[in-house]
Chains A and B, each alone.
Chain A
Amino acid sequence: MEYKIGVWDGIPVGIGYFSVSFGFGALAASHGISAWDAAVISFSNLTSAGQFAGLTAITAGASLWELILTQLVINSRYALMSLSLGQKMGSRIGTLPRLIIAFFNTDEIFALAMARQKPLTVPYLLGLGLTPMIGWTGGTLAGALASSALPLMIRTALGIALYGMFIAIVIPQARAQRSILAVTLISLVLSCLFYWIPVLNGISSSLSVIFCTVISAAIGALLFPIDDEENIQEALA
């Protein structure tokens, strides 16, 4: 039952992933990487920005260390997310399931898991990862095999889907909780500064996401400390 709910909740992410990874597959094919290899990259990494950067590094003939460093920088936000998700899981979920669930902890799956009102269970989390996994790998394969199959207009329109989902996750929480609204606005302003102000915009987008997250969440924690269990549940509800 929990597994089914998880699969159901994950479907929009799976569809969104299909459209995004379609672009990745097409890009990989244009770099001369076979459709099979592109699918292997997507299946084993399950990360958007990291894969795009990794693909560029691989085709540019970067060293192994360079490749690892790129992944560390771009994907370090997952460490924060895993820490946050781990707190929500509580002590009911043991090490073995955690080892498996860690694999699926993408931005979107993390967001869905955190937005879930009920306590998290292992079947739910595994269900959540199913369609995104299939969508991400399948989209890559499809994109590499037939990058020109979908009209460009439809592909660009689908490109906004994941952002739309993020907004749908943040808005209801920001609306319900003044503290979340404040953190969201601080992060928004910081993100704009990192994007548009000279010098600051020289920082890679993945690093700036980390800076914005850490700074605004820290300001939020100082201004609106959450001291007991009830408040945390309230803030996440």
Chain B
Amino acid sequence: MNIYISVFAMALTTYLIRMLPLTLFQKKIKNWFLRSFLTYVPCACLTAMTFPSILYSTNSLISGLIGFLVAIIISLCGKSLVMVAACSCAAVFLTEQILCFF
């Protein structure tokens, strides 16, 4: 099968999933349950995507755990997105360098 047909099918499916809810529901939803539900979707979704996958995103569980903890601590300090991400990366890098000695 031609790869471009496959790619087009994938792209179209993904686009429709994103586009239909965004264009079909333009009015404010009145139902209190649905509104509350949608308010909680971002945090619920981001959390589920992050943990525990973050622990397995690096070469070892230890560096993943340290990257995770560093990200939490830095965000609790009120730092920006970039700062948190950078510190987390640096922590993983350093941990893995240290782990090399063992």
Contact = CB atoms under 8 A, between A and B. Distances in A.
Q: Do A and B bind each other?
A: yes
Contact of B57 (A103, A163, A168, A173): A163
A191 B47 contact: yes
Contact of A163 (B4, B71, B93): B71
Nearest to A114: B42
A163 B53 contact: yes
Contacts of A16: 85
B45 A213 contact: yes
A31 to B, nearest CB: 11
Q: How large is the interface on B (under 10, 10 to 19, 20 to 34, 35 or more residues)?
A: 35 or more
Interface residues of A, number: 102
B25 A156 contact: no
A187 B47 contact: yes
Contacts of A86: 21-23, 25-26
Contacts of B90: 157
Contact of B89 (A37, A44, A161): A161
A10 B99 CA distance: 33
Interface in A73-92: 75-87, 89-91
A82 B21 CA distance: 6
A209 B36 CA distance: 19
A102 interface: yes
A128 interface: no
Given A12-B82, A91-B27, A220-B40, 16 more contacts: A12-B85, A37-B3, A46-B14, A54-B6, A58-B6, A79-B21, A83-B22, A101-B22, A107-B45, A160-B89, A164-B88, A168-B79, A171-B72, A183-B40, A187-B45, A217-B37
26 contacts: A12-B81, A33-B3, A58-B3, A72-B13, A75-B17, A75-B18, A87-B25, A87-B28, A95-B23, A102-B19, A114-B42, A153-B96, A153-B97, A160-B58, A160-B71, A161-B89, A164-B67, A164-B88, A166-B47, A167-B84, A183-B44, A187-B47, A212-B45, A212-B47, A225-B36, A232-B39
